[in-house]
Structure 1
């Protein structure tokens, strides 16, 4: 088999720039002609063995770095960005690879521009929230600031995720709950289960952790891991928070607990192992829950975080709503936005999940931007643990773009090729551009209305 040719023009240019050498001087030190160096730097010729040896001998350069570029990752990210319906055509793959190899800075600038475009559209949703609050202000609350922090990180925190994966590798035994219990007891922490206790209570003086005896095993495991993060990963969590630069101490405190929860989920379902299992089972939530000792909701949330550079999973969104339709959790690695105030789109199947507890509901949907999704909804209400205790009623939604349907078991048997199979859904009535929706509750923002006294359709106004 012929050896793979090595093209590393961008890295050669970067090295020469760092050394402060002209092309002529650099070529002399490498023992090649000036035209030959120019061709290598522009990826018109591969890097020769002679140049590789000269790089190592003259400059002590780690030549393995030449083959460790992020060109393929840039290509993947650009293809994902160019799938946005705002682009009418996608450049050929060869052009994308050429851009990533020859002009990586330009490729990254394009990705940043597209990310800024997405964020601008997402921030329009904040107007919806501001208009719905009494004394409306655009300054986010601490809770909203933390929510947006995770959202704009694509719900993936690399340092915390890898620390959790490393922690999980050090546990012995297949039962995560028993393994974590043993680890905590090795640290001198006693664990008690009490019927009237909250989900988790840690006494710093007695070093005792009390958990609710009424909560399910997967919740107890999760809460133990949250305490592990707060006890053993404090420096890592604080360093991550320092980079985020929250505007208030309250936001920082909320975010720290959020990072501890992130650690717990990532330790229960370690990235590499979980990603492999998700692909093997075609993202079957019940099989994954049984394999990792987690709940359906925990598994769904974890699927929305699989965005590690170089090892990305399917971009999923995850949301949880209450009976009023208010979104209480939202995480998205997709282009899909969420209502930031009030109820979500009433055409979304998640609202029907309360009517069919214990069952998965499937839906094919299209958003106003032209993106098409396969959506999954299920009731995930939480029992109070005994007769007469209040039940917290929630439904969760999980979804991805329909182009990933072959990798998702829940797409099997659905009519993906028929346009009429996709229901038109929006985000929130205030920011939805659809003018003829029969479920519209309020007019869209910044659109002129026409009122016809002698004519009445489904709505009492017409959107121009």
Structure 2
């Protein structure tokens, strides 16, 4: 196991300032010198285990609250941005980027946003986009990109909504009571909203008629989908003010992004209502993250369970750090979140060596993979294919693959790892994040060269790809 030094100066400073203590008083309470505390806060020295324990005991906090998950996500996004040839003449070291993300996260976010705008403008120029003729300025991020990044950088955990959903679930007896019965019953009793079948020709999941107070649901959708849509409607009716405040305070560039975020927040509430935090946390530990058993216990789909598990980041009560992604058959990542060190590429396709692509070949099965990324971190990766449709023979069927996993240090919490030799490093497949930022020199599946490496083309030798990396 790697011995990773912990540089969390900004978090220590925030804790000190939250307790309104000067450096001398704070240092005295945890038993260190003022000069040592000053070096820690400026990330000139790492935090020792003894200091962490003193902080936890003195200020009654969880050591896990000092985990570097947020910094890891920001560092990953920043590292990908600076691989662009635009920065060829200045290549910051990993330590320099860590200092920026830890001490000046606002500056890191600003640089990432600027790079995204540059990328969008470059793509528009390359494709002679019509906006050039209209004299458009800097391209704004799409509404979906903005909302996706919002959830990504808040760790996909919204405390106000999570707590409210959990309190309501307790009143309704969920998960002991079947949500497919409890939620429509609550809608009718509390809000006077009746649930009805939508006409097949409407081809929709949900339609709410605010005048007749009727929620129309697709009768051919799975029970878990209908339950989720009922929970969503409860969120729309009861949490509208809270959701609006969160979305409006996120600083989006457009009203469209605000509205998309409000939908995302209502979806978040629905998931938290069907799968309340503490109940799911306990069940995941008891059932060792068996996705099928968890889905059965909570009346949810495997995708709903997998997505919800990736949000288990409540301070002081965190679950296993899990990554989750949903991919279509073209390789597009349509949903993504990672509470683990593995971060998904913001541009380009996912690594073809990742087992999620194989899931389409084995529908109905959960396939497993032990994988290692170029930074040396090893993972347990699970993938399965899911289909969405309903409505008969001629109804379109949407097919996706979902990926779930964790670092191997947590593999023992998963039933899927029981017969895998996680101690054998040779059994781990080498995977990357995306070809454009992966520097593995001998990958037979490489699609494009890495941006930061010079190519050597030898006319007398040809390997799996027509070049070597210098």
Return the TM-score normalized by structure 2.
Answer: 0.76
- Partners of 2:248 and 2:261 lie apart in 1 by 11
The answer to whether 1:188 aligns with 2:192 is: yes
CA separation of 1:113 and 1:427: change in aligned 2, threshold 3 A: closer
Q: Out of 202-211 and 290-299, give the one that drifted further.
A: 202-211
**CA drift at 1:381:** 1.5
CA separation of 1:40 and 1:244: change in aligned 2, threshold 3 A: closer
**CA drift at 1:451:** 1.4
Structure 1 counterpart of 2:152: 151
> Residue by residue, what CA displacement relative to the aligned partner does 1:156-206 show, whole Å, maximum 9, x if unpaired?
111111111111112157111111111111211121113333100111222
Structure 2 counterpart of 1:166: 167
Match of 2:246 among 220, 240, 243: 240
Kept in 1: contact 2:166–2:272 (CA 8 A): yes
Structure 2 counterpart of 1:306: 312
> Residue by residue, what CA displacement relative to the aligned partner does 1:21-69 show, whole Å, maximum 9, x if unpaired?
xx9xxxxxxxxxxxxxx79944459xxxxxxxxxxxxxxxxxxxxxxxx
Structure 2 counterpart of 1:179: 182
CA separation of 1:252 and 1:370: change in aligned 2, threshold 3 A: same
Structure 1 counterpart of 2:334: 328
- Partners of 2:390 and 2:169 lie apart in 1 by 30
Q: Secondary structure at the match of 2:350?
A: coil
Q: Out of 450-459 and 94-103, give the one that drifted further.
A: 94-103
> Residue by residue, what CA displacement relative to the aligned partner does 1:302-354 show, whole Å, maximum 9, x if unpaired?
11000000000001010011111111110111121213344311101011111
RMSD between aligned residues: 3.4
- Partners of 1:418 and 1:457 lie apart in 2 by 29
Whose Rg is larger? 1
- Partners of 2:19 and 2:280 lie apart in 1 by 42
CA separation of 1:280 and 1:110: change in aligned 2, threshold 3 A: closer
**CA drift at 1:131:** 9.2
Structure 1 counterpart of 2:78: 120
Q: Secondary structure at the match of 2:444?
A: coil
Structure 2 counterpart of 1:141: 142
- Partners of 2:404 and 2:139 lie apart in 1 by 29
Structure 2 residue runs of 5 or longer lacking an equivalent are: 1-12, 33-39, 84-111, 127-137
Structure 2 counterpart of 1:344: 350
The answer to whether 1:369 aligns with 2:375 is: yes
Match of 1:427 among 433, 443, 451: 433
Match of 1:444 among 436, 444, 450: 450
The answer to whether 1:353 aligns with 2:309 is: no
> Residue by residue, what CA displacement relative to the aligned partner does 1:186-242 show, whole Å, maximum 9, x if unpaired?
211121113333100111222211110110100000011111111111011012113
Return the TM-score normalized by structure 1.
Answer: 0.77
The answer to whether 1:94 aligns with 2:50 is: yes
- Partners of 2:465 and 2:259 lie apart in 1 by 45
**CA drift at 1:384:** 3.4
CA separation of 1:15 and 1:167: change in aligned 2, threshold 3 A: closer
**CA drift at 1:93:** 2.2
CA separation of 1:346 and 1:115: change in aligned 2, threshold 3 A: closer
Kept in 1: contact 2:385–2:402 (CA 8 A): yes
**CA drift at 1:387:** 0.7
Structure 1 residue runs of 5 or longer lacking an equivalent are: 1-9, 24-37, 46-77, 83-88
- Partners of 2:338 and 2:255 lie apart in 1 by 26
Match of 1:385 among 384, 391, 403: 391
**CA drift at 1:90:** 8.6
- Partners of 2:67 and 2:319 lie apart in 1 by 22
Q: Secondary structure at the match of 1:351?
A: helix
- Partners of 2:365 and 2:187 lie apart in 1 by 36
**CA drift at 1:298:** 0.4
The answer to whether 1:455 aligns with 2:461 is: yes
CA separation of 1:176 and 1:403: change in aligned 2, threshold 3 A: same
Kept in 2: contact 1:327–1:339 (CA 8 A): no
- Partners of 1:90 and 1:347 lie apart in 2 by 35
